[in-house]
Amino acid sequence: MKDKIFKFLLFFAACSILLLTAGVIYTLVGQALGAFQHFGFFGFITSSEWDPRAGQENYGALAFITGTVITSLLALLFCIPFSFPVALFTGEYFRGKKIASVVGSVVNLLAGIPSIVYGLWGFYTLRPLIVSLGLSDQGFGILTASLVLAIMIIPYASSLSSEFLSMVPNDLKEGAYSLGATRLEVISTVSFPVASSGILSAYILALGRALGETMAVTMLIGNTNNIPRSLTDTGNTMASIIANQFGEAGGLKLSSLIAIGLLLFLITAIINSIAKLTMKRINP
């Protein structure tokens, strides 16, 4: 009887997750339908105009999709040179030593810091630095937002990559050492190939996290409804436009903001699916 009750609870929990996901999709689709019907699905995602004036309302998501993709990809590009060495430090070179434990604890602490804290740090530290370097007059823009995003996802990517590196069987590495391989050769020919699918998935998941980041980006990107032409241009992301204008929106504008939220949901789901497929393809 206890086993049956436990099995039922597990089944109920699993079904609850499916029902919750279905409820989220149903709500988003239902609320976004007005915008898609008015502008057309492809018309909405290919238009960069955002005009909330009464009688002239015209909304499109292209500027925000572009801002989201650019900031997220730049963040990932900035993240890799810092997160991968940290992963090697904690998961390979100093694995099991006290220094690796300390660094790992700090990484986990950084991963748990709320995004608003990173936004405040970027506003009062990184933004003035950008201005002092002459890269931007006000310090707001795509570059500043991307740098803060990169700092936010470095702990996430390095922690996951370190876990995958530490899961490489010791027998494989000891076999390579017995043949005279150096530490660098073991990493490049044994550890990295074995853990490559997990490491790649870690960075894809980090990209997915960067796509949906809201507060830090909102504080630093400049919040202008235009397609950025350079790294120092201001712009908006899908999450930041919702955060900025949702509270005062209504009617067609509200439906358009929810449609942007639905698109962000779909993009994030696709990124996560790619990560899973990558793991299965590289390490079936």
Q: Assess whether pLDDT exceeds 60 at residue 283.
A: no
- Whole-model pTM: value is 0.88
Higher-pLDDT residue of 54, 83: 83
Domain boundaries, the chain: 2-51, 62-282
pLDDT in tens, 219-262: 999 999 989 888 889 999 999 999 999 888 888 999 999 999 99
Q: How far apart are CA 43 and CA 276, in angstroms?
A: 31
Asked if residue 86 lies in contact with residue 199, where contact means CB atoms within 8 angstroms, the answer is no
Asked if residue 231 lies in contact with residue 142, where contact means CB atoms within 8 angstroms, the answer is yes
pLDDT in tens, 90-113: 888 888 888 988 998 898 888 888
Q: Cα separations (Å) of 50 from 47, 56, 66, 107, 226?
A: 8, 10, 14, 40, 9
Q: How far apart are CA 94 and CA 5, in angstroms?
A: 45
One-letter amino acid at 54 equals: A
pLDDT confidence bin for 281, thresholds 50/70/90: low
- The yes or no reply on domain 62-282 and CATH 1.10.3720.10 is yes
